[in-house]
Amino acid sequence: MVDYHASNNQASSGGPAVYMDPREQENDWDRDLLLDPAWEKQQRKTFTAWCNSHLRKAGTQIENIEEDFRDGLKLMLLLEVISGERLPKPERGKMRVHKINNVNKALDYIASKGVKLVSIGAEEIVDGNAKMTLGMIWTIILRFAIQDISVEETSAKEGLLLWCQRKTAPYKNVNVQNFHISWKDGLAFNALIHRHRPELIDYDKLRKDDPLTNLNNAFEVAEKYLDIPKMMDAEDIVNTARPDEKAIMTYVSSFYHAFSGAQKAETAANRICKVLAVNQENEHLMEDYEKLASDLLEWIRRTIPWLENRAPEKTMAEMQQKLEDFRGYRRVHKPPKVQEKCQLEINFNTLQTKLRLSNRPAFMPSEGRMVSDINGSWHNLEGAEKGYEEWMLNEIRRLERLDHLAEKFRQKATIHESWTDGKEAMLTQKDYETASLSEVKALLRKHEAFESDLAAHQDRVEQIAAIAQELNELDYYDSPSVNARCQKICEQWDALGSLTQSRRESLERTEKQLESIDELYLEYAKRAAPFNNWMEGAMEDLQDMFIVHNIEEIQGLITAHEQFKSTLPEANKEREAIQAIQAEVQKIAQYNGIKLSGGNPYTTITPKSIDDKWHKVEQLVPQRDRALQEELAKQQSNDHLRRKFATQANIVGPWIQTKMEEIGRISIEMNGTLEDQLVNLREYEQSIIEYKPNIDQLEGDHQLIQEALIFDNKYTAYTMEHLRVGWEQLLTTIARTINEIENQILTRDAKGISQEQLHEYRTSFNHFDKKRTGQMDMDNYRALLVATGNSLGDAEFARIMGIVDPNNSGAVTFQAFIDFMSRETTDTDTADQVIASFKILAADKNFITAEELRRELPPDQAEYCIARMAPYSGPDAKPGALDYMSFSTALYGESDL
């Protein structure tokens, strides 16, 4: 409101003085009414042009401002045009009283609009007082053209000045600080026009040192294209040291009103740009989520068949390579995917928070790409991992067993084949047909010794067959050759049995014709054969391969070996006794002068062969000692590896469990501000990350254990698999907790929630979070809502649950709770607001064109709208019309994704 008060001073000419409210002192009429002649000239021209810009709407105008308003008729008409209201009917008489009455009606109308006119009387206007008339017109201009201008709650003059400063700020050589000197070079006028209608002015060609050209250019363009009459002369402005402020304000106010429609359009465009930017960002985040989810699911889809491949390998080396490939997967390929999965969940939570804050519906990923789908696929992946590792270890055990059995088969088969070499030829010879009685008897005894030897080899044949059978059952890759060799041995063994029986029958038929063989030879043969077999068995046992998995097993073998060594003295006595028999034979022959032809007729086992084998046994014993001791050292080393892994695992396992429990407590406690909590959590996360070398050390120890083929560990209940899963869960949990705090900060800042409110929300939530899990069921959440002042019926509670639990999980998190509390109390952009903004840009039409969008919006957002708006099909539709109403509604409905 503009107030006028009587002045305590009188003008030097004797007339009354006029001034306004002290708040508008810069707009005061000169107290002494002693206007600078140049200022008065500028005011007279400007005010006249301003009045005519309105009077022409009524089909008239004025020529002389102090003369043409004297009868009050055009004054009343001017007020009716600029106000849009009807004044009392004027008096048409020509007398002075009629004129005074008309002017008073005009002055009374001005006063009715809250303007106090003091010392401006109808008589001065009727008498044609130029200064009073100009003062009255200025009052009208202030009230109807300037007073309503306000930018950021400033006064009228300050608001108009601020508007000019903002519009001309980007232009060089323009610095609007007032309504006089700042406009003298004409650049400010041109900048105002160029800012709103750049096609009318070539601003870059204007020169600061040519004010006349600049001013005339602006005045002519404004009059021709903007319908703003020329209210001032360029020469008057240039030739005046300080142009009249009121004249400049009046003229500039015409520019403000001419561009007011553009101002509204700019505001509407800003609102639309803001909404579109939010939508574009959200769509970008949705696309990122979909791509990251698709990539992760595709990686899982490709990886699971590899982990489910159970095609066995033929050799230990091939299976060891499979195990090494699996370790590489665990060390190199999987950790980045664990981070991707965690980041995916964080991005999903952040996106949902942003959607809630911008009053958008929750994001529902495309089918099969929900966080729960990814968790399910991840669970299947880890199940496949566990099964794959167990299968590989079992295969390695199987192949190790197969290699051991195959080598044992070959060794026993070689020994047996060496023994049977020539036996068939021996059994099929007919030497007994031409032999003497003594020779026949000798052959019979020799055959009996052979049968004893044959019986002694029966166990070995059975062992060979049993080993071959076991290799078949364990699916040994070279089973056909094993079976063929075993079959050949068995067939040969059966043939030897038949031939042995046949030879015995032949010898027995001639036995009656033979005399008894020397008892010493016979005794030697009988004792030498089993002793020889014992030595062969001992050599076989001493060279037998062994496989053990712990210290107890190797100690058992060492104990058995020590027991064997304890029998050697007794065996040596038997050897000496056998050799004594042979010595006795030699002694008797020498004593009786008997010339022995050949060796012992009853056996092929010579004293030399017994001694050779005995020496071989003596050599194999220390070799066996060394092999057993080496295996003992290996098992002791393995036990050390077990203890080393167990010691570290028994520290790391409880540490992970403790950290998980601490994070659980931190997530429901309220210590300090959210920023303090975020700083503390990040420091806590860093301390966890710094613990990673302990996990790496444990992985190294575990690799050594696997390379040593250690399959059990009695010193700890922790496995590397359990610790890996615990470590990954720990990293994921701290990252999720940090993300929850960040989302709370985002919600707090966007919704204007104070720290005290947030503390109150957390206290209330914790009270009803009975299990301290960071979430609650529907019953406890309903109790929480009632406690926070929400009156709930079943329908209202169902609506709220649809907001806080859109996926119907049956659980409500703290983030969802504060989102709901802030959403219920915070004003946000709505579809109706966006529709209203588009309506402004469309000049009140029910549709908008692509040309209008490109003119009012930034290029990328204009094209964004054009691509998504459907054609308008209303009754007033025109070619190229676009439906902005359904588009605005869709922004707050279902997402394009």
Which is the CATH superfamily of the domain at 831-896?
EF-hand (1.10.238.10)
Q: Which residue has 């079976």 as its token pair?
A: 483
Does residue 147 contact residue 141 with C-beta atoms inside 8 Å?
no
Q: What is the pLDDT of residues 94-131, one digit of tens each?
A: 899 898 999 999 898 988 888 777 678 888 889 888 88
pLDDT of the residue at 5: 30
Beta pairing partners, 16: 10
Distance between CA 874 and CA 293 in Å, rounded? 41
Residues 157 and 249 sit within 8 Å (Cβ to Cβ): yes
> Does the pLDDT value for residue 897 go beyond 70?
no
- Determine the average pLDDT of the residues in 255-273: 76
Work out the pLDDT band at 792, boundaries 50, 70, 90: low
- Cβ count near 692 (within 10 Å): 11
Tokens coding 70:
């004297």
The torsion angles phi and psi of 4, rounded to 5 degrees, stand at -115, 135
Lowest mean pLDDT among 15-19, 37-41, 175-179, 580-584: 15-19
Residue pair 80/144 in contact (Cβ under 8 Å)? The answer is no
* pLDDT over 80 at 376, yes or no: yes
Pairing of strands 812-813, 775-776: antiparallel
CATH architecture of residue range(s) 755-812 = Orthogonal Bundle (1.10)
- Measure CA 321 to chain center: 33
Q: Six-digit token pair at 142?
A: 């202030």
Q: Does domain 637-743 have CATH number 1.20.58.60?
A: yes
CATH superfamily, domain 37-261, is Calponin-like domain (1.10.418.10)
Instruction: Give CA–CA dist 26/158, Å, rounded.
Output: 10
Q: Which of 157, 133, 160 is nearest to 70 (CA)?
A: 133
* pLDDT confidence bin for 817, thresholds 50/70/90: confident
At 445-496, the pLDDT tens digits run 888 888 888 888 888 888 889 988 888 887 788 888 889 989 888 988 888 8
Residue 495 CB contacts under 8 Å (≥ 6 apart), including other chains: 424
**CA gap 90, 72 in Å, rounded:** 8
Equal fold, 755-812 vs 831-896: yes
Instruction: Show Cβ contacts of residue 743 under 8 Å, excluding neighbours closer than 6 positions.
Output: 349, 350, 353, 815
User: Rounded to the nearest 5°, which phi and psi values hold at 764?
Assistant: -65, -45
Closest CA to 370 of 407, 400, 345, 399: 345
Enumerate the β-bridge partners of residue 116.
3
Domain residue ranges in the chain:
37-261, 278-404, 425-628, 637-743, 755-812, 831-896
**Mean of pLDDT values over 522-541:** 86
Q: Span 343-371, mean pLDDT?
A: 87
* pLDDT bucket at 779, cuts 50 / 70 / 90: confident
Distance CA 698, CA 709 (A): 17
If you average pLDDT over every residue of the chain, what do you get? 82
Confidence grade of residue 514 (pLDDT, cut at 50, 70, 90): very low
pLDDT higher than 70, residue 25: no
pLDDT-based confidence at 30, cuts 50/70/90?
very low
pLDDT band (50, 70, 90) for residue 379: very high
Residues 630-688 pLDDT 10s: 888 988 888 898 898 899 999 999 999 998 888 877 766 667 788 888 888 888 889 89
- CATH architecture for the domain at 278-404: Up-down Bundle (1.20)
Instruction: Retrieve residue 245's tokens.
Output: 């402020």
Q: Is the pLDDT of residue 258 over 60?
A: yes
The pLDDT, as a whole number, for residue 252 is: 92
What mean pLDDT do residues 191-216 have? 92
Tell me what pLDDT residue 21 has. Answer: 39
**Contact assessment for residue 893 and residue 856, using Cβ atoms and an 8 Å cutoff:** no
Rounded Cα gap, residues 352 and 348, in angstroms:
6
Q: How far is CA 127 from the centre of its chain?
A: 84
Which helix (H) or strand (E) element contains residue 17? strand 16-20
Confidence (pLDDT) at 184: 93
Q: How sure is the predictor about 530, in pLDDT bands with cuts at 50, 70 and 90? A: very high
Whole-angstrom distance, CA of residue 170 vs CA of residue 172: 7
CA distances from 438 to 427, 450, 657, 737 (A): 19, 18, 89, 102
Residue 809: the pLDDT is: 80
pLDDT of residue 437: 55
- Taking residue 359's Cβ as centre, other Cβ atoms within 10 Å add up to 17
Q: What is the DSSP letter of 852?
A: H
Residue 171 DSSP SS3: coil
Strands (E) in 199-322, as ranges, are none
pLDDT digits (tens, 9 = 90+) for 715-727: 898 888 888 899 9
CA–CA distance, 241 with 551 (Å, rounded to integer): 111
Task: Confirm or reject CATH 3.10.310.10 for domain 425-628, answering yes or no.
Answer: no
Look up tokens 């041995």; give the residue.
Answer: 489
- Separation in Å, CA 790 to CA 87, 784, 786, 824: 55, 9, 5, 11
